[in-house]
Amino acid sequence: MNVATASLSLLAVATPAVMALLLSVRPWREGVKRATPLAAAPALVLAWANPAGAQWSLPWLDHPVLELDAVGRVFLAFTSVLYLASGWYARGYLAKDPNPGRFYLFFLLAMAGNFGLILAGDVPAFYTAFALMGLASAGLVFHRGDAEAFRAGRIYLALAMVGEVLILTGLVFLVVAGDTVTIAELHRGVISRPALPLLLAGFGIKAGALTLHFWLPLAHPAAPVPASAVLSGAMIKAGLLGWIRFLPLGEAPLPGCGITFIGAGLGAAFLGTLVGVAQANPKTVLAYSSISQMGIIMTGLGIAAFRPEAWAEILAAVLIYATHHALAKGSLFLSIGPAHAARTRLQRSLTGLGLLLAALALAGAPLTSGALAKTALKANVGFLPEGWALALGVLLPLATAGTTLKMARFLWLVWPRPGHVAPAAPRGLWLPWLGLLAAMLAGVWLLPGALELLPAKLAPDKLWSALWPLLFGGALAALGARLRRWFSGDLSRWLPAGDMGVVIERLLERLTLRRPRSDDSDAGRSDDPAPAAREVLWSAYAARAASAVTDVESRLRAWPVVGVVWLLLFGLLTALLARAGH
């Protein structure tokens, strides 16, 4: 094992973690804040240096704890670029924030966890990094501290905990079935059927899969813009990476997984459009766009579940699409600050051009990275049976038209207009946004297999297949804008951000406030024994139970108790996994 590459692997994860710890040292605090973007530099160097089989291990283990493979290299490249640009952007964005140190702490911890799960070579390392990223990103959602942020943070944290329990249980099944904790060896001839639904659902929460997605449109508007960029561009891809790492794609046909992926993916693509275009907050529109885009990527995994022999081609297409979406969506989030602060004609023109480039790329306009990504993905539809291929051949272009509709809505909300009252532009927003925009324009073309698709993409039929959904979506957007003149009211009242989550939230509120009533059959009886007294007794029992729960919860919230419980659980998990691996 090369010592330099091993050290670089460890440094990629350790640098943001150590910088987060240094925030507690007062003399170092300001320097760490200014240097936050550089925390992503070791990971970026590791990804672009391409050290074959970079590994890092502990002396007493016979397997790598950290390892960089071809899939991890792509994920690490776009993730490190996003964190670098977002950290740079945050320096200007948080210039007047009352609690910038809190943001940087959770941002750096989330970065360490994100890099760690990408580089993880064994199951304990992956789960530890995944949990660290999930908990730290909750701090980013809570950061603003108002009612909206607390509501979004509670929902996000609740779903994150459910997801981690499902993932932990699924990973234990995998380790026991495979008799190893090394990720690369988990699926060699062994498939754990009980693990499949657990991992599908657990990673589906992080990926914003249909029915598990409703935390996204609540968390993104609540979090600061640089946090939203990494939440949507990088962290959401942790669910995708989990599916790639731990589902036996390419090993055996999995028709159940295939139906789930394709059905949920298409459902998410169209639900994201239906609810996304009704929103008035541009960050919420982008959140629903992420739900749609991840749904389209899920259809690629569904094809692979049906046809394992095509996994290599499909994986290449999925990686191209994931990179394109990460950089384009990050660019759109970071454009919000410059768009709102553009006051001069030059600033408005520059911002408008950047907005158009990123929006057209996400919509899949010809000659953009989005068209390349969609061409790569649709090239694999032919691997499906004829009926499935025909359905996807129609529905995927319609989903692209929906993306165009959402991008038109986003541009309408953020487009810099002359004469509007804009705040003074914070320093440091323009350069990181433009840098990420440049990475979006060039980055996807550097991926393996991207240039090979260029001749096919330039064929007349491919150009038309990329153009007509854009024109159709644009026509729908123009029609919607015209109808909007005669339509009064706010559409988000009928299609609120959080959609299904809002329904569940209201249902739980009703159940919580509901009191037991006398049985209908007893309602007219004259000998009914004092219903009012029973109501009073029930209220007393409920109040006592609520007080007891609150007391237990307050004790469990104490940091020493949380720390001890977490260490005990993690130690038990590590011992079980280590024992299963021998």
* 582 residues of the chain, pLDDT tens digit each: 466 677 888 999 999 999 999 998 889 999 999 999 999 999 999 998 866 677 888 887 778 899 999 999 999 999 999 999 999 999 999 988 889 999 999 999 999 999 999 999 999 999 999 999 999 999 999 999 888 899 899 999 999 999 999 999 999 999 998 888 999 888 776 788 889 999 999 999 999 887 788 888 989 889 999 999 999 999 999 999 999 999 999 888 898 899 999 999 999 999 999 899 888 899 999 999 999 999 999 999 999 999 999 999 899 999 999 999 999 999 999 999 888 887 788 888 889 999 999 999 999 888 888 888 888 888 888 888 778 888 888 899 999 999 999 999 999 999 887 765 555 556 678 899 999 999 998 877 777 666 666 665 566 766 777 788 888 988 988 887 777 654 444 566 677 776 777 777 677 766 665 544 444 444 444 454 555 555 555 455 555 655 655 565 555 455 455 455 555 555 555 555 555 444
465 and 551 belong to one structural domain? no
508 and 541 belong to one structural domain? no
536 and 390 belong to one structural domain? no
* Structural domain for 312, as ranges: 252-420+428-514
- Domain assignment of residue 189, yes or no: no
- Domain assignment of residue 323, yes or no: yes
Q: What is the dihedral of CA 561, 563, 564, 565, to 10 degrees?
A: 80
Q: DSSP 3-state assignment of 217? A: helix
**The pLDDT of residue 580:** 46
416 and 541 belong to one structural domain? no
Q: E strands along 39-132, which residues?
A: 55-56, 66-67
Q: Which two tokens stand for residue 169?
A: 């249980």
339 and 459 belong to one structural domain? yes
321 and 406 belong to one structural domain? yes
369 and 509 belong to one structural domain? yes
Residue 282 CB partners (closer than 8 Å, separation 6+): 336, 410, 413, 414
482 and 536 belong to one structural domain? no
Task: Tell me 56's DSSP state.
Answer: E
440 and 395 belong to one structural domain? yes
**The pLDDT of residue 114:** 97
Tokens 């009980």, residue?
194
296 and 364 belong to one structural domain? yes
Question: CA–CA separation, 434 vs 81, rounded Å?
Answer: 13
- Domain assignment of residue 434, yes or no: yes
**The pLDDT of residue 189:** 67
- Domain assignment of residue 455, yes or no: yes
Which residue in 23, 13, 122, 110 sits closest to 65, CA to CA?
Answer: 122
Q: Which two tokens stand for residue 119?
A: 């580089």
289 and 408 belong to one structural domain? yes
- Domain assignment of residue 384, yes or no: yes
540 and 488 belong to one structural domain? no
Question: CA–CA separation, 473 vs 184, rounded Å?
Answer: 42
Number of domains present in the structure of the chain: 2
- Domain assignment of residue 331, yes or no: yes
Max distance between CA atoms of the chain, in angstroms, equals 88
- Domain assignment of residue 72, yes or no: no
Residue 423: what are its φ and ψ, rounded to 5°?
-70, 165
Q: Which of 457, 479, 514 is the last residue of a domain?
A: 514
Residues in the chain: 582
- Domain assignment of residue 61, yes or no: no
Q: Which of 459, 483, 514 is the last residue of a domain?
A: 514
